[in-house]
């Protein structure tokens, strides 16, 4: 039996004996001191080798600097992200404010278009001349068919699919149920769709204005053609009508001309075009009151002698007939063909009983051979007012009306004005 290494532990009355195998004893009492000696050697080596200690310290310092740099970069990224979010929020608020302003402008534009339509439609029906005053049936002039105004514009108030930037309304302009995919609809998309919706509404408003402007422009052109047909002094008539308009005398407008900028709002340009056409038509209509375009007698006109050279009925020699003779019965009413002031009412040589009316702008009309005179000199008469009755006074062979139109004192062919009256009846 091999010998064992015995170790006795004794303390006062306590005694303990421990028996170890020799190999285990060698391991315990041999290796443990060796390990202790190695640890002491490594410790003394580390202490007395400054370069190793400094390398360890530098490594720790580098690690600390790397951590601090990383923390600083993250802090900077957080600040950048926060600043970007603030900028995005401000940009979003600015776009919302811009769209809210556009919505308000669209509502104002709709009200303007509706007001123009309300102004044009009644005027289109009421501005037609009195049929009794314009249904001229001169045998020498066939009457063209009357054209009824056709203005068909449907104005709709802008309603951007239930989206109102000024109130708590849903943001989706498409009207779809987005309850299942609400997270996929971003504010950017909502604003983009809303802006597209506003663009469509604005284009519709501009199209509505064009639908109003085109018939007005065509009507103004027909009015001008009628004025040209009668060779009427349009500018002088417009100025005269403006001076006679209540509250307009002495008023004026002016200022230097500055063309509209190229980038001006399309709606404003279209609205200005309609307003200008409407103003032009209103001006021409006002001038019509002073243009002798109505017929002087009721019913179809029977022309017995035209304007120009003819054989004198009394002398049988060539003579200039300064007006046109219209058949009628004694006592038939004679009407003023335009508004104006009576400058002569009484006997006047070969005219017999004569009424002369000054309409302004160099235009005047004469009504001769009257049996009765119903007006006085200096009296203002409106278009269509009765100025006398048909007769056969003066140099006349029988009851009829001698009707003259004079421009700046020179007699002109009245039939031109009757034809212009027919054109105006179809134009209005």
> Over the stretch 160-174, which tens digit does the pLDDT of each residue have?
444 444 444 444 444
Residue 71, φ and ψ in degrees, nearest 5: -65, -40
Distance CA 323, CA 401 (A): 10
Task: Inform me whether the pLDDT recorded for 146 exceeds 70.
Answer: no
Quickly count: other Cβ atoms within 10 Å of residue 106's Cβ. 20
The CA-atom distances, in angstroms, between 13 and each of 6, 16, 81, 92, 164 are 19, 10, 78, 92, 101
Rounded CA separation 117/130 (Å): 23
pLDDT at position 269 is: 86
- Which of the two residues, 240 and 180, has the higher pLDDT score? 240
Gap between the Cα atoms of 382 and 290, Å rounded: 9
Q: What is the pLDDT of residue 403?
A: 95
SS3 2: coil
Report the alpha-carbon distance of residue 38 to residue 36 in Å, rounded. 5
pLDDT-based confidence at 131, cuts 50/70/90? very low
**Cα separation, 250 vs 393, whole angstroms:** 43
pLDDT at site 347: 94
Tokens 């035209």 -> residue: 306
Q: Ranked by mean pLDDT, which of 37-41, 283-287, 405-409 comes out on top?
A: 405-409
* Cα angle: 30, vertex 34, 35; to 5 degrees: 120
Q: Is 421 exposed, middle or buried (0-12, 13-18, 19+ CB in 10 A)?
A: buried
* The most confident of 92-101, 103-112, 289-298, 378-387, by mean pLDDT: 378-387
What pLDDT was estimated at residue 192?
84
3-state SS, one letter per residue, for 76-115: HHHHHHHHHHHHHHHHHHHHHHHHHHHHHHHHHHHHHHHH
Q: SS3 sequence, 221-279?
A: HHHHHHHHHCCCCHHHHHHHHHHHCCCCCCCCCCCCCCCCCCCCCHHHHHHHHHHHHHH
Q: How many C-beta atoms surround the C-beta of residue 389 within 10 A?
A: 20
CB hemisphere CA count around 384 (13 angstroms): 8
The pLDDT of residue 93 is above 90: no
44 pLDDT above the threshold of 50:
yes
280 DSSP 8-state letter: H
The reported pLDDT for the residue numbered 370 is 96
Q: What is the pLDDT of residue 332?
A: 95
Please determine, for residue 179, whether its predicted confidence score (pLDDT) is greater than 90: no
CA distance 126 to 118: 13
Does residue 156 carry a pLDDT above 50? no
pLDDT digits (tens, 9 = 90+) for 250-308: 455 566 766 655 545 788 888 888 888 888 888 888 888 888 988 999 988 899 999 98
Q: Is the pLDDT assigned to residue 345 strictly greater than 80?
A: yes
145 vs 397: which has the higher pLDDT: 397
CA atoms 68, 72, 78, 79: torsion sign: positive
Q: What is the DSSP string of 39-59?
A: HHHHHHHHHH-HHHHHHHHHH
State the pLDDT at residue 48: 66
Helix boundaries (H) for 304-367: none
pLDDT in the model for residue 128:
42
Integer Cα distance of 67 and 28 in angstroms: 45
For residue 252, the model assigns a pLDDT of: 58
> 180-189, 283-292, 361-370 — which one is most confidently predicted on average?
361-370
Percent of the chain with pLDDT over 90: 21
Q: Tokens 């391991």 label which residue?
A: 27
Give residue 186's pLDDT band: very low, low, confident or very high (50, 70, 90). confident
24: which strand partners? Answer: none
**Above 50 in pLDDT, residue 124?**
no
| Full-model pTM | 0.54
């Amino acid at each position: 039996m091999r010998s064992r290494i015995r170790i006795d532990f004794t303390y006062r009355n306590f005694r303990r004996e421990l028996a170890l195998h020799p190999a285990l004893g060698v391991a315990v009492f041999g290796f443990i001191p060796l390990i202790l000696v190695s640890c002491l050697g490594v410790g003394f080596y580390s202490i007395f080798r400054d370069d190793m200690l400094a390398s360890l310290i530098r490594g720790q310092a580098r690690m600390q600097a790397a951590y601090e740099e990383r923390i600083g970069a993250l802090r900077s990224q957080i600040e950048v992200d926060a600043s970007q979010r603030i900028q995005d929020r401000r940009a979003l608020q600015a776009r919302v404010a811009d769209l809210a302003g556009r919505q308000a402008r669209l509502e104002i534009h709709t009200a303007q278009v509706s007001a123009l339509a309300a102004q044009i439609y009644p005027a289109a029906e009421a501005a037609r001349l009195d049929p009794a005053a314009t249904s001229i049936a001169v045998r020498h002039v066939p009457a063209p068919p009357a054209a009824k105004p056709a203005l068909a514009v449907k104005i709709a108030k802008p309603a951007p699919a239930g989206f109102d930037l000024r109130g708590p309304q849903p943001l989706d302009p498409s009207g779809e149920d987005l309850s299942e995919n609400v997270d996929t609809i971003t504010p950017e998309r909502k604003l983009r769709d809303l802006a597209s919706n506003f663009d469509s509404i604005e284009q519709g408003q501009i199209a509505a204005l064009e639908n109003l402007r085109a018939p007005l422009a065509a009507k103004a052109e027909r009015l001008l053609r009628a004025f040209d047909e009668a060779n009427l002094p349009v500018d002088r008539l417009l100025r005269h009508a403006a001076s006679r308009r209540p509250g307009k005398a002495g008023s004026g407008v002016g200022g230097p001309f500055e063309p509209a900028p190229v980038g001006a709002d399309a709606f404003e340009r279209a609205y200005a075009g309609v307003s200008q056409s409407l103003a032009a038509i209103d001006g021409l209509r006002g001038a019509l009151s002073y243009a002798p375009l109505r017929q002087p007698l009721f019913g179809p006109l029977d022309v017995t002698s035209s304007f120009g050279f003819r054989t004198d009925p009394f002398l049988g020699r060539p003579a200039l007939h300064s007006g046109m003779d219209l058949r009628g019965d004694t006592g038939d009413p004679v009407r003023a063909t335009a508004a104006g002031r009576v400058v002569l009412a009484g006997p006047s040589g070969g005219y017999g009983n004569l009424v002369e009316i000054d309409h302004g702008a160099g235009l005047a009309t004469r009504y001769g051979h009257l049996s009765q005179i119903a007006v006085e000199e200096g009296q203002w008469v409106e278009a269509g007012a009765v100025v006398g009755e048909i007769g056969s006074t003066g140099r006349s062979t029988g009851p009829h009306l001698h009707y003259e139109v004079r421009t700046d004192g020179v007699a002109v062919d009245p039939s031109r004005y009757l034809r212009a009256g027919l054109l105006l009846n179809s134009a209005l």
